[in-house]
Amino acid sequence: MNLSIRHGRVKQAIWVESPNCDDCDDGFKPEALIIHCISLPPGEYGGGHIAQFFQNTLPVEKHAYFSEISHLTVSSHFLIERDGRLVQFVSTDKRAWHAGESFCLQKPKANNFAIGIELEGLDSDPKGFTCLQYQRLAELTQCLIQHYSLITSKNIFAHSDIAPGRKLDPGPFFDWVRYLKMLAN
């Protein structure tokens, strides 16, 4: 799929707006990509719970874990589901609340200058991520690199890189070599 971006939105992505974002500072230009992973409840895939979480509509009665996290207001710019479906929650012209307390490119607060991409998965799942997810991630990354001149393949980080000790994702089962090789093609 050939992805294109206009006014902060990837045309081919499913748009599911999250309120968990805010305006960026004047002169904002994305400089980095942060790769995350998430599954809700942990270790379970599908069900639409990630979108509900990013929209603050998680049904707390469906799972005990949901009541533990329902007070959080987080989002990401993008989610790539197990089947490769691309969902966008926040315009890339806005600040998504994905990185939390973080340090990246010798600066604090990565949300101020980074685009967050979530992969549906669990950092400890030995099944890792699907072929379709890697393919879509490479396509999305190429689109963002073409659109934003400050983002390069050297400015792609794991959540664990920018929040060490606090975050583990995308974890040891994310194949960085495979992903970066796909970017080079």
| Any domain includes 34 | yes
| Any domain includes 8 | no
Mean per-residue pLDDT over the chain, rounded: 96
Tally of structural domains, the chain: 1
- The whole domain housing 144 covers 29-184
| Per-residue model confidence as pLDDT tens digits over 67-117 | 999 999 999 999 999 999 999 999 999 999 999 999 999 999 999 999 999
> Looking at residue 106, what DSSP letter applies?
T
| Any domain includes 117 | yes
Candidates 47, 76, 54, 105; CA nearest to 170 is 76
Question: What pLDDT, on the 0 to 100 scale, is given for residue 161?
Answer: 97
Tell whether the model's pLDDT for residue 139 goes beyond 90. Answer: yes
Question: What pLDDT, on the 0 to 100 scale, is given for residue 185?
Answer: 80
- Is 139 a residue of the active site? no
CA triple 73-134-177, angle to 5 deg: 110
| Any domain includes 13 | no
| Any domain includes 81 | yes
Work out whether strand 78-80 and strand 86-88 pair parallel, antiparallel, or are unpaired.
antiparallel
Candidates 143, 120, 152, 149; CA nearest to 133 is 120
Candidates 8, 12, 87, 13; CA nearest to 53 is 87
Q: Name the token pair of 175.
A: 């194949």
| Per-residue model confidence as pLDDT tens digits over 18-63 | 999 999 988 889 999 999 999 999 999 999 999 999 999 999 999 9
What is the C-alpha separation between 1 and 67, in angstroms, rounded?
Answer: 37
Which residues, listed in sequence order, are joined to residue 96 by a DSSP beta bridge? 21
| Any domain includes 71 | yes
Question: What pLDDT, on the 0 to 100 scale, is given for residue 25?
Answer: 85
Given 17, 68, 81, 118, which residue is catalytic? Answer: 118
CATH of the domain at 178: 3.40.80.10
Tell whether the model's pLDDT for residue 128 goes beyond 90. Answer: yes
* Residues 19 and 102 sit within 8 Å (Cβ to Cβ): no
For helices 131-147 and 176-184, the axis angle rounded to 10 degrees is 50
pTM, to two decimals: 0.97
